[in-house]
């Protein structure tokens, strides 16, 4: 080992005790648009004393999302989990619904919470999205629908799923929580299936503090969803439906409108960071940076690495541990798979056996900080830590074992 190399290795926090970053770098640190513009909107809101119940900001936000996505209907809601529940009810989903296990737990919980059984399908190891043959194998007489997840903002197999649901007379809902600003064959995500659900949670690159939206080109479905998110009120004193309270507040809509004015610059920053990470890491054996489709609009919000232990000599977990000690809070994401969480783990103890690709991905995938809170210097340094670590797996493993 040359001297410079040895010095760099010794400087790692697991040896020196001194982390590279004084402040913690998080995955999913919120992007903030024009703060003044947001505060001005809050002033307007106080002047109006209209805080919620389909206020002017909510109406404007819905219209602007429709324009941005080129979709007929947008219903904004308090968060994407409630949005998934409302959409599932509005589509009359019941019995079993097929979902990937390689997703955030809310995709499955929203169904479970509506007494619908999520049935887990496997994923394609290349795209990280659901595998259509696995979906097909999971269809039973009790199946009423499929929830496709556009993992990392990459559309899942939209045509194949659309054909499958047509053939099998099923409903098709998309969890597009990651996919604001992404497109498929030139058309924005938000236009596909029976409906699509977005999340505007603070950890997503586009946020309204908490929030979400359901989009659809089906007018009848949109009306039903509007009633459902507002207790089923169709008039001042008239209730026609057992609805819930899924309303978005004005202050969230004000934040959402402000974020929407900056969405292009958020995406540009994400893309610039992605290209930087990619260039720094692309020649590192055993570290694969998840690639986005080049010829389609993408939001580039996630920097996803796949760690191949057989080449790096380090597991994903060991690499995450090293980064954490440097104050780089990389995440194992998604980990564990939803099928490993309760109640699914107890209800379907066999499901792990049927999801080999999901299990393997859950062991090797991690995500790194992105967005406007990380700069190029930090990215260079994060990549340097990774490079040093995978160059010296033996020393690192010994040290980690002794901690
Ligand atoms: C974030 C997320 C959700 C939940 O969104 P909330 O707005 O926090 O309820 C659902 N599905 C996926 C894939 C997500 O990443």
pLDDT digit string (tens) for 85-132?
999 999 999 999 999 999 999 999 999 999 999 999 999 999 999 999
Helix (H) or strand (E) holding 375, with range, is none
103 contacts 149 by C-beta, under 8 angstroms = yes
Q: Is 161 in the pocket of ligand 1 (CB under 6 A)?
A: no
Distance 196 CA to ligand 1 centre (A): 12
Q: Which atom of ligand 1 is nearest to the CA of 106?
A: 10
Please write the tens of the pLDDT for every residue from 81-95: 999 999 999 999 999
Q: Is 199 in the pocket of ligand 1 (CB under 6 A)?
A: yes
Report all structural domains of the chain as residue ranges with CATH numbers, in order of start: 6-30+263-330+369-402 (3.90.1150.10), 35-261 (3.40.640.10)
Q: What are phi and psi of 321, to 5 degrees?
A: -60, -45
Residue nearest to atom 8 of ligand 1 (CA): 201
182 contacts 155 by C-beta, under 8 angstroms = yes
Distance 387 CA to ligand 1 centre (A): 32
Given this model, what pLDDT does residue 4 score? 82
Whole-structure pTM value:
0.97
Helix (H) or strand (E) holding 334, with range, is none
Given this model, what pLDDT does residue 3 score? 83
Beta strands 303-307; 287-289: pairing state: antiparallel
Q: Is 106 in the pocket of ligand 1 (CB under 6 A)?
A: yes
Given this model, what pLDDT does residue 331 score? 97
Given this model, what pLDDT does residue 351 score? 84
Given this model, what pLDDT does residue 376 score? 96
Distance 360 CA to ligand 1 centre (A): 22
23-41 in b/e form (b: 16+ CB < 10 A) is: eebbbbbbbbbeeeebeeb
* Residues of the chain below pLDDT 70: 1
């Amino acid at each position: 080992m040359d001297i410079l190399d040895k010095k760099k290795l010794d400087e790692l926090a697991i040896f020196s005790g001194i982390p590279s970053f004084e402040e913690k770098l998080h995955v999913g640190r919120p992007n903030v648009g024009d703060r003044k513009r947001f505060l001005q909107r809050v002033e307007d809101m106080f002047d109006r004393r209209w805080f919620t119940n389909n206020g002017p900001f909510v109406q404007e936000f819905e219209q602007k999302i429709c324009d941005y996505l080129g979709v007929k209907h947008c219903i904004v809601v308090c968060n994407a989990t409630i949005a998934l529940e409302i959409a599932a009810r509005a589509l009359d989903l019941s019995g079993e619904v097929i979902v990937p296990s390689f997703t955030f737990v809310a995709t499955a919980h929203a169904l479970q919470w509506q007494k619908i059984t999520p049935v887990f399908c496997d994923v394609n190891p290349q795209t990280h999205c659901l595998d259509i043959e696995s979906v097909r194998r999971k269809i039973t007489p009790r199946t009423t629908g499929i929830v496709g997840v556009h993992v990392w903002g990459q559309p899942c197999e939209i045509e194949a799923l659309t054909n499958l649901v047509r053939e099998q007379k099923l409903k098709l809902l998309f969890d597009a929580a990651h996919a604001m600003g992404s497109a498929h064959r030139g058309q924005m995500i938000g236009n596909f299936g029976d409906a699509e659900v977005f999340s505007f949670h603070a950890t997503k690159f586009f946020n309204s503090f908490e929030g979400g939206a359901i989009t659809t080109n089906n007018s009848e479905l949109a009306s039903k969803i509007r009633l459902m998110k507002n207790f089923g009120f169709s008039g001042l004193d008239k209730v026609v439906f057992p609805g819930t309270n899924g309303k978005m507040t004005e202050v969230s809509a004000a934040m959402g409108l402000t974020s929407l004015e900056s969405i292009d610059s958020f995406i540009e920053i994400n893309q610039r960071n992605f290209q930087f990470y990619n260039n720094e890491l692309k020649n590192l054996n055993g570290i694969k940076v998840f690639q986005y489709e080049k010829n389609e609009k993408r939001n580039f919000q996630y920097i996803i690495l796949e760690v191949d232990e057989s080449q790096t000599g380090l597991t994903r977990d060991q690499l995450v541990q090293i980064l954490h000690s440097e104050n780089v809070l990389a995440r194992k994401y998604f980990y564990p798979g939803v099928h490993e969480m309760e109640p699914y783990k107890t209800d379907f103890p066999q499901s792990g056996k049927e999801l080999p690709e999901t299990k393997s991905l859950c062991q090797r995938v991690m995500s790194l900080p992105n967005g406007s809170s990380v700069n190029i210097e930090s990215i260079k340094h994060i990549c340097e830590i990774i490079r040093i670590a995978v160059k010296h797996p033996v020393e690192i493993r010994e040290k980690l074992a002794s901690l």
